[in-house]
């Protein structure tokens, strides 16, 4: 059971493992996507159809019709990765080996929808994947296995996602093998150190220049590619939203939100602590540009205050 690219990585690894028989795949319904709002298949659906596996796309995981269809598959174990709906007890209790979840954090840290983004936003130096036996709570079930990875300075949410997707797929396969033969014992999560990683909203991308340059740099990295960190550039006849794709911390000081320098080396903006050198930007509706390219068509003067 899963929906996005993260889940497809786990499904494809399970499909490639001869010891496992995949009796069915469950994913979310097709959703409108893009400017034309055409229905788009979830990545897990694409992988399931390519493998010729039975596919279920219930609007609600709690519907009696879906529960009957799922029970008819008689699964011994259900692997779950970023499915996108809360599973009712009827599903959790269905397979004899339970439901195992691939969660992209070191539980109990970052329970919830956006653990990858919040790990970067909060400046963590390390994260990982936990395989958990699901219970009725929000990522509160006992853990079976975990693996760690450093969060590198060059990471953003996209690169970290891809690395964790691969690590999670490998760990899931190993964990299932050991779990079904009784080689693993569930370990209850400690209450100490638990934290939440709520769903990211578009408004989370707004850069607050009163914050430290380090925290803003983490926001740029943690929210790429969606929703992206952004600021507001005062420009006649109306202010323009500018997405910041790449930046780095600079120790120069200046008034928060005020452009200190604007040259081919970047757009240097004062912060609550130190400053942020913006290297790659994108005007709303435009293309991604280096600072040099952007300034060639949109001259910005030092002293301009960003919103």
Question: Which pLDDT tens digit goes with each residue over 117-151?
Answer: 999 999 999 999 999 999 999 999 999 999 999 99
Predicted local distance difference test score (pLDDT) of residue 112:
97
- Reference 53, options 90, 102, 16; nearest CA is 16
Q: What is the pLDDT of residues 46-83, one digit of tens each?
A: 999 999 999 999 999 999 999 999 999 999 999 999 99
* pLDDT for residue 35 is more than 80: no
Say what the pLDDT of residue 79 is: 98
How do residues 146-179 score in pLDDT, each as one tens digit?
999 999 999 999 999 999 999 999 999 999 999 9
What is d(CA 92, CA 122) in angstroms, rounded to the nearest whole number? 32
**pLDDT of 77-103, one tens digit each?**
999 999 999 999 999 999 999 999 999
pLDDT(33) > 90: no
- The whole-angstrom separation of Cα 265 and Cα 279 is 7
Look at the block and give the residue holding tokens 């709906």.
85
Q: Specify the pLDDT at position 288.
A: 97
- Conformational region of residue 216, where left means phi above 0, alpha means psi within -120 to 50, and beta covers everything else: alpha
pLDDT of residue 146: 98
How many CB atoms are closer than 10 A to CB 297?
Answer: 9
Q: Check residue 34 and give its pLDDT.
A: 80
Question: Looking at residue 67, what is its pLDDT?
Answer: 97
**Helix segments in 62-188, DSSP class H:** 64-72, 89-92, 115-121, 157-180
Residue 31 to residue 76: CA distance in whole angstroms: 30
Residues 6+ apart with CB under 8 A from 1: 7, 25, 26, 27, 78, 79, 80, 81, 83, 87, 99
Instruction: Judge whether residue 193 has pLDDT over 80.
Output: yes
Q: What is the pLDDT of residue 201?
A: 97
Mean pLDDT over all residues of the chain?
97
Q: Model pTM? A: 0.95
DSSP β-bridge partners for residue 241: 232
Contact assessment for residue 86 and residue 1, using Cβ atoms and an 8 Å cutoff: no
């Amino acid at each position: 059971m899963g929906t996005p690219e993260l889940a497809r990585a786990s499904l494809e690894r399970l499909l490639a493992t001869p010891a496992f028989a995949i009796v069915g795949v469950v994913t979310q319904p097709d959703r409108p996507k893009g400017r034309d709002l055409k229905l788009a298949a979830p990545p897990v659906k694409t992988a399931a159809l390519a493998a010729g596996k039975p596919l279920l796309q219930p609007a609600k995981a709690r519907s009696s019709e879906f529960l009957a269809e799922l029970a008819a598959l008689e699964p011994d174990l259900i692997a779950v990765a970023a499915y996108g709906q809360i599973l009712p007890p009827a599903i959790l209790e269905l397979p004899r080996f339970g439901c195992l979840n691939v969660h992209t954090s070191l539980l109990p840290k970052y329970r919830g929808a956006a653990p990858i983004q919040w790990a970067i936003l909060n400046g963590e130096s390390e994260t990982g994947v936990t395989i958990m036996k699901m219970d009725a709570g929000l990522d509160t079930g006992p853990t079976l296995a975990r693996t760690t990875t450093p969060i590198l300075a060059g990471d953003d949410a996209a690169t970290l996602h891809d690395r964790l997707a691969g690590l999670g797929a490998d760990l899931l396969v190993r964990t299932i093998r050991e779990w079904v033969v009784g080689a693993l014992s569930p370990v209850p999560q400690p209450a100490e150190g638990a934290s939440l990683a709520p769903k990211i909203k578009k408004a989370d991308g707004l850069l607050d220049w009163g914050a430290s340059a380090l925290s803003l740099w983490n926001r740029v990295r943690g929210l790429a590619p969606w929703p992206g960190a952004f600021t507001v550039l005062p420009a006649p006849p109306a202010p323009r939203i500018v997405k910041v794709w790449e930046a780095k911390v600079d120790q120069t000081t200046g008034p928060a939100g005020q452009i200190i320098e604007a040259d081919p080396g970047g757009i240097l903006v004062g912060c609550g602590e130190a400053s942020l050198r913006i290297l790659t930007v994108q005007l709303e509706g435009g293309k991604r540009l280096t600072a040099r390219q952007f300034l060639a068509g949109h001259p910005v003067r030092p002293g301009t205050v960003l919103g």
